[in-house]
């Protein structure tokens, strides 16, 4: 018999990075005795090595808790711990659709940050009941009254009865559990006898079980052995194993309305399970599918190439396995004259890129080269055709191009007063247009319209360094807009290096080109002949550096005598160098690529 609806509470924990979501989840699990004390460890729900090492949550994780409340009833709490980083906002948005309420965790010493806002708005869009929770009240710098006021000013949620807790020491955790039971609504509607209607929240690949599918049941009942159908993809499967997470998998006989659980059914590929799909009984389907949600759209693209080209097949296997676990990661094959065979991969942001790269290097032991990250441009040709340009090296002939559009974003930056000038200058330098500037509790909130291309490179690092780490930043893609963009190529010894070509704004091309040439001059080892390093747009060279040759002192044996003897030897050497340069090949070392792509101002 499944739990009655009135005793189920489904909620997620949302917050900015490092405000204590995963630690609060640990305390809730510990206090309700869901996991035995001996099995408890910090950040219990962060299962991946890279999550534990970086101290961040990447995948949203779920756990079912039984809580005997003060009113004598036992409630079933389904908790989803979500990531805080902007790159994983997709994980947050889809977790929100599976639950009815959110705990909004705000650090009582830091206050509201940009990601707090973004995640709260996601929760409000999903029509959630929100309970504010002020964490870290045991810190000497904590100011719960000021932060509660800030929550009311900035977000507009009543924070007068916010829970004051310290997730680390366990202060106030029982109040949170009571608040969840009293203040969060039970699941709406839900008829156990109606045809099955369940939402596919997430899916991942398990080497022993095949694809594991996380679902939230809206109507009807799912039993072990049922035959189900995915309404979008049309796939039909039998349910082999049905269960819930108490972090460990626990089998159950059936799942009823309002419950969150998982099933496996000999599904071979995660591609067959589209997130947001509706699952129903094969013989007795529901009338219409759930609205589902927009697929994630990669915004940053870069090439991944193996350092050792013989490892290409291993890299293909690694990327295919990662794509099984990560619906928001896309890839296609590409080749490069400088780097050989590799893949062009799409990511949701730079942190996502770093995480995937680290996982390939660590879990599959493959050394990688990553090319400069770039975004997708819309290239409009004179004949009216539109091309999506993922890699600057594939830019069509400029004489046939009518205009190019680039993606723009709306960036929200929260920053303490004293750093505001630096932040405004940084945004101005990146071709930003200011849209709004407001003051909230001693901090400025600047809203800018920025080109995504300028943000992808190193905007976040620069922002953190000019504000000593106090600024917080969140963005969403708004639209595509035409601008004066050109493709800049780097030529080494008159040979174009396709891995270093990039799209830049014409006004800033010269500055970028100079910086790149100067950087490469220090990075490329000297040869026996002189090497020109040039940045060019089309046929026009806009910047140049010359790497001087290594030279043997051919006149060492001449002392005294006529000057023409020395001249003759030098001329002979010069002719030899000229011939060398004609046939010489310049090998650009691996480190030079990677360092050249990290552009500093």
Cβ atoms 285, 229 nearer than 8 A: yes
Q: How far apart are CA 50 and CA 53, in angstroms?
A: 5
Long-range contacts at 242-247 (CB < 8 A, ≥ 24 apart): 244/64, 245/61, 245/62, 245/63, 245/64, 246/34, 246/35, 246/63, 246/64, 246/65, 247/29, 247/34, 247/35, 247/44, 247/45, 247/61, 247/63
Is 327's pLDDT higher than 70?
no
User: Which stretch of DSSP H or E encloses residue 428?
Assistant: helix 420-429
Which amino acids are annotated as binding site, given as ranges? 18-23, 135-138
Chain mean pLDDT for the chain: 78
Mean pLDDT value across residues 261-283:
77
Domains of the chain, each with CATH number or no CATH: 5-183 (3.40.50.300), 197-281 (2.40.30.10), 300-373 (3.30.70.870), 394-483 (3.30.70.240), 487-597 (3.30.70.2570)
Residue with the bigger pLDDT between 189 and 417: it is: 417
CA 157 to mean position of chain CA atoms: 28
Residue with the bigger pLDDT between 43 and 211: it is: 211
Predicted confidence band of residue 294 (pLDDT cuts 50, 70, 90): low
Residue with the bigger pLDDT between 125 and 242: it is: 242
Predicted confidence band of residue 303 (pLDDT cuts 50, 70, 90): confident
Predicted confidence band of residue 38 (pLDDT cuts 50, 70, 90): low
Is 51's pLDDT higher than 60?
no
Per-residue DSSP letter, 601: -
Residue with the bigger pLDDT between 283 and 296: it is: 283
Contacts of 194 (CB under 8 A, 6+ apart): 219, 220, 286
Is 600's pLDDT higher than 70?
no
Per-residue confidence (pLDDT) for residue 17, from 0 to 100: 72
Per-residue confidence (pLDDT) for residue 587, from 0 to 100: 66
Q: Could you tell me the two tokens for 515?
A: 């910086």
Per-residue confidence (pLDDT) for residue 85, from 0 to 100: 59
Per-residue confidence (pLDDT) for residue 93, from 0 to 100: 67
pLDDT digits (tens, 9 = 90+) for 444-485: 888 889 888 887 766 777 787 888 767 777 777 788 888 888
Per-residue DSSP letter, 382: T
Mean pLDDT value across residues 359-388:
83
Is 557's pLDDT higher than 50?
yes
Mean pLDDT value across residues 512-530:
82
Mean pLDDT value across residues 34-60:
55
Q: What is the dihedral of CA 409, 414, 415, 421, to 10 degrees?
A: 40
Is 384's pLDDT higher than 50?
yes
Q: How far apart are CA 335 and CA 315, in angstroms?
A: 14
Terminus-to-terminus CA distance in the chain, angstroms? 64
Predicted confidence band of residue 233 (pLDDT cuts 50, 70, 90): confident
Q: How far apart are CA 81 and CA 199, in angstroms?
A: 18
| H and E: helices and strands count for the chain | 13, 31
Q: Could you tell me the two tokens for 192?
A: 């156990």
Q: How much of the chain exceeds pLDDT 70, in percent?
A: 84
Per-residue confidence (pLDDT) for residue 246, from 0 to 100: 80
Among candidates 324, 260, 327, 419, which has minimal Cα distance to 91? 327
Residue with the bigger pLDDT between 102 and 22: it is: 102
Per-residue confidence (pLDDT) for residue 39, from 0 to 100: 58
Per-residue confidence (pLDDT) for residue 112, from 0 to 100: 80
Mean pLDDT value across residues 297-310:
80
Cβ atoms 40, 26 nearer than 8 A: yes
Q: How far apart are CA 250 and CA 243, in angstroms?
A: 5
Q: In this structure, what are the phi and psi dihedrals at residue 309, rounded to the nearest 5 degrees?
A: -65, -15
Is 2's pLDDT higher than 70?
no
Q: How far apart are CA 496 and CA 340, in angstroms?
A: 15
Mean pLDDT value across residues 168-188:
83
Is 58's pLDDT higher than 70?
no
Other CB atoms within 10 Å distance of the CB of residue 94 = 26
Which amino acids are annotated as binding site for GTP, given as ranges? 18-23, 135-138
Cβ atoms 485, 377 nearer than 8 A: yes
Cβ atoms 413, 446 nearer than 8 A: yes
User: β-strands 433-440, 401-416: how paired?
Assistant: unpaired
Q: How far apart are CA 533 and CA 513, in angstroms?
A: 10
Mean pLDDT value across residues 383-397:
81
Q: Could you tell me the two tokens for 185?
A: 């609504």
Burial of 170 (0-12, 13-18, 19+ CB in 10 A): middle
Predicted confidence band of residue 387 (pLDDT cuts 50, 70, 90): confident
Cβ atoms 452, 408 nearer than 8 A: yes
Is 430's pLDDT higher than 80?
yes
User: Which stretch of DSSP H or E encloses residue 449?
Assistant: strand 443-451
Per-residue confidence (pLDDT) for residue 524, from 0 to 100: 80
Mean pLDDT value across residues 548-553:
76
Is 498's pLDDT higher than 80?
no
Per-residue confidence (pLDDT) for residue 46, from 0 to 100: 47
* Residues comprising the chain, all counted: 601
Q: How far apart are CA 408 and CA 505, in angstroms?
A: 14
Among candidates 61, 13, 99, which has minimal Cα distance to 245? 61
Per-residue confidence (pLDDT) for residue 601, from 0 to 100: 42
């Amino acid at each position: 018999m499944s739990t009655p609806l009135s005793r189920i509470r489904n909620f997620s924990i949302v917050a900015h990075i490092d405000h204590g979501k995963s630690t609060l989840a640990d305390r809730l699990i510990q206090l309700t005795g869901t996991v035995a004390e001996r099995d408890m460890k910090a950040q219990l729900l962060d299962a991946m090595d890279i999550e534990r090492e970086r101290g961040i949550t990447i995948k949203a994780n779920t756990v079912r808790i039984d809580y005997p409340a003060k009113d004598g009833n036992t409630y079933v709490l389904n908790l989803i711990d979500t990531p805080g980083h902007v790159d994983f906002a997709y994980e947050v948005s889809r977790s929100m659709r599976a639950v009815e309420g959110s705990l909004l965790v705000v650090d009582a010493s830091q206050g509201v940050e940009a990601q707090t806002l973004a995640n709260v708005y996601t929760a409000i869009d999903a029509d959630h009941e929100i309970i504010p929770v002020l964490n870290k009240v045991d810190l000497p710098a904590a100011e719960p009254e000021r932060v509660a006021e800030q929550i009311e000013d900035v977000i507009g949620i009543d924070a007068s009865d916010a829970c004051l807790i310290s997730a680390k020491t366990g202060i106030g955790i029982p109040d949170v559990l009571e608040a969840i039971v009293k203040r969060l609504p039970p699941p709406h509607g839900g008829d156990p006898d109606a045809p099955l209607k369940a939402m596919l929240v997430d899916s991942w690949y398990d080497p022993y079980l095949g694809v594991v599918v996380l679902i939230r049941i809206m109507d009807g009942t799912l039993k072990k052995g049922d035959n189900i159908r995915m309404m979008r993809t049309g796939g039909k499967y039998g349910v082999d194993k049905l269960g819930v997470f108490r972090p460990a998998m626990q089998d159950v006989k059936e799942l009823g309305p309002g419950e969150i659980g998982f099933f496996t059914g000999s599904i071979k590929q995660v591609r067959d399970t589209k997130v947001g799909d509706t699952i129903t009984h094969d013989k007795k389907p529901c009338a219409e599918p759930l609205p589902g949600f927009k697929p994630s759209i990669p915004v940053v693209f870069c090439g991944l190439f193996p350092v050792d080209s013989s490892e290409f097949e291993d890299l293909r296997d690694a990327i295919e396995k990662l794509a099984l676990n990560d619906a928001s990661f896309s890839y296609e094959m590409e080749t490069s004259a400088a780097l050989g065979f590799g893949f062009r991969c799409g990511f949701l942001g730079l942190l996502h890129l770093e995480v995937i790269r680290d996982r390939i290097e660590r879990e599959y032991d493959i050394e990688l080269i990553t090319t400069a990250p770039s975004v997708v441009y819309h290239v409009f040709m004179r004949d009216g055709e539109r091309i999506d340009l993922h890699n600057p090296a594939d830019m069509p002939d400029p004489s046939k191009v009518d205009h190019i559009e680039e993606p723009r974003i709306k960036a929200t930056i929260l920053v303490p007063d004293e750093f505001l000038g630096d932040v405004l200058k940084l945004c101005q330098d990146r071709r930003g247009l200011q849209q709004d500037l407001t003051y909230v509790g001693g901090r400025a909130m600047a809203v800018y319209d920025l080109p995504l291309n300028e943000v992808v490179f190193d905007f976040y690092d620069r922002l953190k360094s000019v504000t000593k780490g106090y600024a917080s930043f969140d963005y969403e893609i708004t639209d595509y807009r035409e601008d004066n963009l050109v493709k800049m190529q780097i030529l080494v010894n008159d040979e174009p290096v396709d891995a270093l070509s990039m799209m830049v704004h014409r006004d800033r091309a010269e500055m970028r080109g100079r910086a790149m040439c100067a950087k490469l001059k220090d990075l490329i080892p000297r040869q026996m002949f002189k090497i020109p390093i040039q940045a060019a747009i089309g046929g026009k060279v806009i910047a140049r550096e010359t790497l001087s040759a290594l030279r043997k002192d051919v006149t060492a044996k001449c002392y005294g005598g006529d000057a023409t003897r020395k001249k003759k030897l030098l001329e002979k050497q010069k002719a030899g160098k000229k011939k060398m340069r004609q046939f010489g090949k310049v090998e650009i070392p691996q480190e030079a690529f990677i360092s050249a792509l990290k552009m500093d101002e």
